[in-house]
Amino acid sequence: MTIGILLEMAQGERRVALVPASCASLIKAGHSIIIQSGAGAEAGFPDDAYVQVGAQVAARAEVLAQAACIAHVAVPTTAEIGEYPKGTSVITLVYPKRNPDTLAALAQAGVSVFAMDAMPRTTRAQNMDVLSSQNNLAGYKAVVVGANAVGRIFPLMMTAAGTVTPVKMLIYGAGVAGLQAIATAKRLGARVEVTDIRPETKEQVESLGAKFIWVEGLENVRIEGGYVAGVTDEILQKQKEAVEKSLFAADVVITTALVAGGKAPTLITAEQVSKMKFGSVIVDMATDAGGNCESSQHDTQVTVGGVTIIGGGNLAATVPTHASELYGKNVVNFLAHIAKPDGISFDTEDEIIKATLVVHNGEVKV
């Protein structure tokens, strides 16, 4: 099969779907790779690196004309959807619940779409899980962004001029991103507190040396595939009350909470922001899904009453080299699963294909 790689058109997207090492693996498996010239440059991979592993570098139109399958990263833009030839298969991030109009346009274009973000959270699909690989990097970068924005250093420091106290950090959510943020902040010397409405995360948080803020009523939270699928307003209110003391004392706050691919819950209100320390920083990692902070703006830094609020919706794209390497490995593993000698399998009896095939035969399957 001929697999195509295009230069991403989404604003701020610097990743590339397949890096040269990933291309080499696919070529060894019998596939052909054709990549748009310059597609990997922003991620640190020049055209020559692709040529060296046996990929063909071509103009965008040639890639679209030859590729039976296109490996993609960001949610396809309207312009990109308009370019896809009918019958093409596209492997990409698409977040079906957030982007119904995009899915409808893809169905109308007559392409088949595999949503990498819809990968089931099973052992069998673990090496294809792009949300884990990308959120892990994003959690690390969120701490770096927060450290850069706050006017303090993270660790305790004893100096001749006096003692510098460590930064107090509060993290909302102990998923992949949150756990990596904890580990990174602890390495930098911060004192870290964490809140999550999934009780099973308490042990993981404490194993990393952070303090877990307990919220009563967690037994009523509905979990699906490792994500919060449903939570009552009562529990969210209890969480708000339980964490306010830590929130108002925090120097850096990182929010990571998502609800099963839908709109992110509001965890920090504008009123709470008004009571936070002057000079404190919020890094809201959920702005792609509406944001966890009422005052945050997508991919924008704002200051409200002395509090800096950073909307970090696509932090993985700010470390494009490693993000592309990990994403590419996920795509290679996924292709090994769905690519058969006679082409791509659309067998929805397979749990991985059923979960990820969101558009096929002109129909939205979500």
CA distance 272 to 257: 17
User: Catalytic: which of 32, 60, 98, 121?
Assistant: 121
Upper half-sphere CA count for residue 291 (Cβ side, 13 Å)? 19
How many C-beta neighbours within 10 Å does residue 268 have? Answer: 26
Token code pair at residue 42 = 């922003």
- Rounded-to-5 percentages of helix, strand, coil across the chain: 40, 20, 40
Catalytic residue, chosen from 227, 299, 301, 350, is: 227
Distance CA(62)–CA(154), nearest Å, equals 50
Closest-CA residue to 242 (of 270, 205, 212): 212
Query: How far is Cα of residue 263 from the mean position of the Cα atoms in its chain?
Result: 14
Task: Check 11, 108, 126, 274 and give the catalytic one.
Answer: 126
Catalytic residue list contains 126: yes
DSSP SS3 for 6:
coil
Compute the CA torsion angle 267, 268, 270, 276 (nearest 10 deg). Answer: 170
Burial class (CB in 10 A: 0-12, 13-18, 19+), 13: buried
Q: Which of 89, 132, 239, 295 is catalytic?
A: 132
Q: Are 169 and 252 in contact, with CB atoms under 8 Å apart?
A: yes
Verify whether residue 121 is a known catalytic residue: yes
Given 84, 95, 112, 129, the catalytic residue = 129
Neighbours of 28 (CB within 10 A): 10
Is residue 132 annotated as part of the catalytic site, yes or no? yes
| Separation between Cα atoms, residue 66 and residue 171, nearest integer Å | 46
Active site residues: 121, 126, 129, 132, 227
